Amino acid sequence: MNYLEKAQQWKNFKGLDAKLKNELDHMSDDELKEAFTNDLEFGTGGLRGILGAGTNRMNIYIVEKATLGFGRYLLKQSKVAQSRGVAISHDNRHFSVEFARKSAEVLTSLGFRVFLFDSLRPTPELSYAVRNFNCIGGIMITASHNPKEYNGYKIYDETGCQLVPAMAEQVIDEINKIDDMFNIETGLNHELIYYIGKDVDEKYINDVKKIILRPNLKKDFKVVYTPLHGTGQVFAPDVLKSVGYNVLPLPCQMTNDPDFSGVKTSNPENKEAYDEAIALAKAWDADIVLATDPDADRLGIAVRHNGEFVLFTGNQTATLEVDYILRTRKEFNTLPKDGYIFTTNVSSTLPEIIAKKYGLKVEITLTGFKFIGEKAREMEQTGRGTYVFGFEESYGSLVSPMVRDKDSIQAILILCELAAYWREKGLDLVEALDKIYQEYGYFKEDITNVALAGLAGKAKIEKIMDYFRNNEIKLKGFNILAKDDVKLSVHTDNKGNKTEIKLPKSNVIKYYLNDDMWFVLRPSGTEPKLKIYYGVNGKSQEESDNKLQDLKKQVLDIFNSIE
């Protein structure tokens, strides 16, 4: 069925939502092609797309179809799937409440109990709820840090971990078996919906506080916090206040606003997301700015240094966390001999080097925190080691595997604690990070995001990946030691020797360079863009900066030469 036939099928449905019908009636041919040629695909963050009419858009029919497929998958996993039930939560976005409610109604019509949060909650608390109620699965309605035009749909297994590819493929198979997306039953057994709220909040917060390592540190500094209009507003400031931190929430962004009207961007990776918070921090003479993304699984920070606020990358934040946790646990003699740190193949290698210094093992996963959650689950089930910390470069980390997704509430607590620790030693976090660099080397990372939207963009991404996959490249001043083609599961060294890569197949290519340097090409799993990651190090900040600019220029020159 081509895009015009699919669009006509939607137009022929008499019960079509009025807003979607109006949108459909006013679409141009190009818009119809974009909306109906493809179907939304599960990526690193589940379903995520622009709101609107079409099979390649987020709307109530896509959500109902996905939920029916997920429910049928769960029924095959356990004879008691219905009685164990599914936990559901949502963020602040347009239609998030409706999508969550419809997901619940599809599942109750299949006979499932549903534990539905009474209002918006952070993604990590959804993971916690799955585990708390011993559910068979979970659903989080969110588009994370994407712009206001987006919404999304994450699904979780019985351990509170996002579905890894092997599981997601089974769900996709069930979804693809559904021929009629317009007549999915949603009207049965609504009495099976159990609304949850403060009771779970209190249990979750109490367990989060267990990660505190040094409760008696002086907390004599000021923190400005913003949820960027998202779910962190539910209790992030209160958690910090309850353990003694002086916190001022940013009023204009402490509102449940799906248009994100009080902030320039909802992504804490972007410096303009901090503009209003930093202005308040300067007026209040604060020391630290904390920003969580809309579903509060990721945390960004800015720190006052020499009168100005310095933004930290996700890699720098993780470096501080790893160093502090291992340093403290060694001091307290609580560092496990079989401890593991987990990270991804696009993240900084510096935390890995720190971990190995403390005798910990390090495992590398693909991008997507579900792979780290999978490792935590494996450890719990097999007892092969002890989870100590996990992180990825995109501002996500997990201290305690009490949940199985990245958790900004845990990150907020541990970062404020390590700030207090270094403050007692006379250092701010910029100076503390520099102290780490002086010991291990000046590691620096960066990312280039190349937006390539639509069908033409998708074809361009494939052409670029195929070029790097099939051609030998050369870089001046850098030695290419090896190359990983994760899609083909092949590691090739500079002598041509090939070995198998023990990772799930993914369209990712990584080049290993001399002196622990590297770069990676990876199409985004959640946005229409190609991401290029870089990692360098040197004996000084200036040397690292120069190497990074040189590497970026050479890689982008190759990229731009591909027609």
Strand partners, 304: 309
Give me the torsion for CA of 463, 464, 470, 476, rounded to 10°: 160
In 121-230, at which residue ranges do the beta strands (DSSP E only) sit?
137-141, 150-156, 193-196, 222-226
- Determine the 3-state secondary structure of 200 from DSSP: helix
- As a whole number of angstroms, the distance between CA 404 and CA 135 comes to 14
CA distances from 4 to 28, 64, 378, 446, 563 (A): 11, 22, 46, 42, 30
Residue whose C-alpha is closest to residue 180's, from 61, 47, 59, 349 = 61
DSSP 8-state symbol, 392: E
| Contact (CB, 8 A) for 317 and 411 | yes
What length is written for the chain?
A: 563
Dihedral angle computed from the Cα positions of residues 289, 295, 296 and 302, in that order, rounded to the nearest 10 degrees: -20
State the catalytic residue, choosing from 96, 103, 127, 144.
144
Question: Has 28 been annotated as catalytic?
Answer: no
Q: Mention every residue, 6+ apart, whose C-beta is less than 8 A from residue 33.
A: 3, 455
CA dihedral of residues 545, 548, 550, 551 (deg, nearest 10): 170
Residues with catalytic roles: 144
